[in-house]
Structure 1
Amino acid sequence: MMAKADIRPPDEKATGWRGSRDVWLMAAREALISSGVDAVKIQPLANQLQIARTSFYWFFKDRNALLDALLAEWDAKNTGAFVEACGAYSESIAESILNLIVVFHDEALFEPQLDFAIRGWAHQSDATAARVREADEVRLAAIVAMFERFGFSKDEADVRARTVYLTQIGYIAMQVSESTASRVARAPGYVKTFCGQAPTPNELARFHARLKFDPSAHG
């Protein structure tokens, strides 16, 4: 779970502290994740932060500007993580997929709850739905390019990329909850299913190291 937005101490309230752009944005993100886009409103956020409503306008023109900032932050972080992982160095397609699986495990890189909340918002907003479709296209294109880099034909790369990506979106949509040990244990099987090639022991060792996961401690 994400940390709650910092609440300023009483002495800062008395001096007219306005918060910061990041504080307002963090509070908005928490509201979006916990209660949906309808909860992202200026006065309730101001009440939560114990900051005057007028302080909001030092950082954002209006509520729409805040919502746009939320979308931009989501896209930069979550889609950016996909693109970076797909382009990262690897010795094989199996290791490339492991690089991508790391993203799915690390909320510092990719926030599944935020993705879920944005997709829920998309059901209420055509503009947000369009942004989600654009992000999905960018993510899929990155995975397709990853497969093509290792010699897969365009058509095969497309189908395999969709298998990888739609599996992950399914995890998000179903809000699957499973232990790290269980999910890591399934990783070699997922890799073989996705690309037809099992990861080598060295590739798995590097994967476990990136996750700071010790298989021997989990039987």
Structure 2
Amino acid sequence: MNSLPPSRPRASDQMWLDAALEMLIEAGVDAVKVMPLAKRLGLTRTGFYHHFRDRDALLDAMVRCWEEKNTGNLVARCEAYAETICEAMFNLQDCWIDPTLFDAELDNAIRHWARSEPLLKTRLDEADARRKAAVSAMFQRFGYSGEDAEIRTMAILYTQAGYISMEIEEDPVGRIDRVPAYVELFTGQTPSKAEIERFRSRNGY
């Protein structure tokens, strides 16, 4: 009995989108083209057009994915329930630990892309403004003045942006161990043992 040839994977919008995002991170936006994507997926070039009108539609979907994941999750973590500012900061720190909440490599790739694309630069500026507003509001919720909240917000976000752009690699355990010190640095308050343990536990440490 002859064996059947291996079947191609059933294509989906998400499959094309995920491959495009991987290519963006690896080689930049100029590398995101239909034929190389089809080859990577083992699909036909014409199949792409059953999912996206054209390459521009795919690029727009990529930007929306980044906005929803990175900015959307960051805002949600800032707004998550917390009884203290330290607990709120641990909620935000989850973004830097859990790649399902915040994709640092994608954020870096989008920033590189925006340098040569004015419309994307506008959307990036809008995303950064949303992030700043969310972090500042988190501090003000716990009684920090507007000016104090703004300074702490800039310290947090600019530190993380530098961390991402420098592509720093750290031992995961060492990084987790340092988070309580960051929380104290950014809030001016010492987190409790229970707050530290809850953070470590939900992140698998």
Q: TM-score range by the shorter chain?
A: over 0.9
Any stretches of 5+ residues in structure 1 without a counterpart? Answer: 1-8, 214-219
1:156 pairs with one of 137, 148, 172: 148
In structure 2, C-alpha distance between the alignment counterparts of 1:18 and 1:177, rounded to whole Å: 36
Give the corresponding residue for 1:189: 181
Matches within 5 A, 1:7-156: 10-13=5-8, 19-156=11-148
Cα distance in 2 for partners of 1:114, 1:33 equals 6
Task: Give the deviation of 1:72 after TM superposition.
Answer: 0.2
Distance 1:176 1:81 in 2: 22
Distance in 2 between residues matched to 1:209 and 1:194, nearest whole Å:
22
TM-score, length basis structure 2 = 0.94
Question: How many residue pairs align between the two structures?
Answer: 202
Contact 1:160 1:195 in 2 (8 A): yes
| Consecutive aligned runs of 4 or more in structure 1 exceeding 4 Å deviation | none
RMSD: 1.4
> When the two structures are superposed, what TM-score results if normalisation uses the length of structure 1?
0.89
Q: Map Cα deviations across residues 88-133 of structure 1 (whole Å, 9 max, x no partner).
A: 1111111111111111100011110111111111112111111111
Alignment partners' CA distance in 2, 1:104 and 1:21: 27
- Structure 2 runs not aligned, ≥5 long: none
